[in-house]
Amino acid sequence: MPADLRLLDDEQRALIQMVREFADEVAAPAAAGYEERSEDPAALYEQLAQLDLTGIAYPEDYNGLGLPYETYLMVVEEIARAYLGFAVGLSVHTLCAFAVNSFGSEELKRDVLARLCSGEWFGAYSLSEPGSGSDAVALAAKASGSDGGYRLSGSKVFCTRGNEADAVLVMARTGAAGAKGISAFIVEKGTQGFGGSKKEDKMGWRSSPTWMLQLDDAFVPGSRRVGAEGEGFRIALASLDSGRLGIAACSTGLAQAALDEALRFTAEREQFGKPVNQNQGLQFMLADMATQIAAGRALYRHAARLRDAGESYSIEAAQAKLFCSDTAMRVTTDAVQLHGGYGYITEYPVERFMREAKALQIVEGTNQIQRLVIGRKLIQS
């Protein structure tokens, strides 16, 4: 059962129905081709902008729709159900916009957020470095003050759409070692001394380009710093709290797609003279898959409602990311199993889903790190 629309208001229902149509008619049929070609679906991102889906949860003053974050996440889930790699791009874009909306000056919001929300610009997020993954505080990229701005130098890794995006949120060190020495910047595409140096070849998410970025004395005007100097790490973490919910919604959409495929296949495939779904053993697997998906959906939407109400939601976001992405891994693996040998061949989409699920357990904080976040908060309180 896909997400239940019964309790939504008219505006939300209209939005989700429109997104479902776009997802089913446009995004889903295109997904396998883009993945096979390892091609960024630029045309689909453009369409996202035309449909007003690039600033859903941000204020109307900056070209957003001013809708709840919960509604935005439901949109992400619907798109992920059709085409995960594309939904990840939307999630990353929104992550970049979040930082500007929550921490940026009025000038920066007019300058950058308005363009991100209208879809004139797409955003990316760059925290990870070769020597600094889970231990993000250890990041080494440097930003030194220079004539009305900063000069950035260093290497970044694993930046989703880093070379396609028009604006990349880059965390770099303006001060001493430790969290307080980090600042956040918006680096515009085409800035001299900045760009992708290598596109990674990956197991899945092949149409979601992952870049190694090189910063070589790249100049960023002071007006493009997000928040105060030294506030960068706090901004990075706050963005991740929000972004993790995006990954949870992506995970739920992917798991739903795998379940839908498994339901279809097990109804059509006959062995021993009857559809294989007539075996109770398989029905129990399907029941567990559906239940886990429903639980994950409830978890991320609960966290989102807390966020929309202005409550703290950090534990809940970590729980949702952990549970939903583990669910996606389990459900996609079971979907392959339910397809038998057909699940293992590329003609059926479930093998791709299984490869795609793996990255969800790694990005925006590995699931070990989610447990660490949850565990720490638990023993603190």
Ligand X SMILES: Cc1cc2nc3c(=O)[nH]c(=O)nc-3n(C[C@H](O)[C@H](O)[C@H](O)COP(=O)(O)OP(=O)(O)OC[C@H]3O[C@@H](n4cnc5c(N)ncnc54)[C@H](O)[C@@H]3O)c2cc1C
| Site residues (vs ligand X, CB under 6 A) | 92, 125-128, 133-134, 158-160, 205, 210, 359, 362-366, 368-369, 372
- Give the residues across from 142 on adjacent strands: 153, 173
Residues 6+ apart with CB under 8 A from 146: 219
Residue 291's binding partner among ligand X, another protein, none (Cβ under 5 to 8 angstroms by kind) is: none
Angstrom distance (rounded) from CA 277 to CA 297? 25
Piece in contact with another protein (CB under 8 A), picked from 15-23, 193-201, 282-290, 359-367: 15-23
Annotated catalytic residue 364: yes
* DSSP 3-state of 132: strand
Q: Which of 82, 91, 75, 95 is nearest to 34 (CA)?
A: 82
Does residue 47 bind another protein (CB under 8 A)?
yes
Query: What's the min distance (Å) between Cβ of 25 and another protein?
Result: 9
Query: What's the min distance (Å) between Cβ of 76 and another protein?
Result: 14
Per-residue DSSP letter, 129:
B
Of 75 and 329, the one with the shorter C-beta distance to another protein is 75
Residue 368's binding partner among another protein, ligand X, none (Cβ under 5 to 8 angstroms by kind) is: ligand X
Of 90 and 350, the one with the shorter C-beta distance to another protein is 90
Does residue 291 bind another protein (CB under 8 A)?
no
Does residue 5 bind another protein (CB under 8 A)?
no
Which amino acid type is present at position 318? Answer: A
Residue 134's binding partner among another protein, ligand X, none (Cβ under 5 to 8 angstroms by kind) is: ligand X
Backbone torsions φ then ψ of 133, nearest 5 degrees: -110, -95
Query: What's the min distance (Å) between Cβ of 203 and ligand X?
Result: 9
Of the chain, the end-to-end C-alpha distance in Å amounts to 37
Does residue 50 bind another protein (CB under 8 A)?
yes
Residue 133's binding partner among ligand X, another protein, none (Cβ under 5 to 8 angstroms by kind) is: ligand X
Of 121 and 158, the one with the shorter C-beta distance to ligand X is 158
Which of 51, 282, 290, 294: binder of another protein (CB under 8 A)?
Answer: 51
Residue 238's binding partner among another protein, ligand X, none (Cβ under 5 to 8 angstroms by kind) is: none
Of 269 and 330, the one with the shorter C-beta distance to ligand X is 330
Residues 6+ apart with CB under 8 A from 169: 95, 96, 99, 100, 123, 124, 125, 126, 184, 185, 186, 226, 239
Which of 1, 5, 11, 36: binder of another protein (CB under 8 A)?
Answer: 11
SS3 of 29-57: the string is HHHHHHHHHCCCCHHHHHHHHHCCCCCCC
Query: What's the min distance (Å) between Cβ of 122 and another protein?
Result: 17
Backbone torsions φ then ψ of 139, nearest 5 degrees: -60, 150
Query: What's the min distance (Å) between Cβ of 272 and ligand X?
Result: 41
* DSSP 3-state of 138: helix
Q: Is the dihedral of CA 61, 67, 69, 74 positive or negative?
A: negative
What angle is formed at CA 96 by the lines to CA 90 and CA 100, rounded to 5 degrees? 135
Question: Catalytic: which of 70, 77, 164, 364?
Answer: 364
DSSP assignment string, 261-303:
HHHHHHHH-EETTEEGGGSHHHHHHHHHHHHHHHHHHHHHHHH
Catalytic positions: 364
Given the rule CB under 8 A, which residues bind another protein? Answer: 11, 14-15, 18, 21-22, 26, 47, 50-53, 65
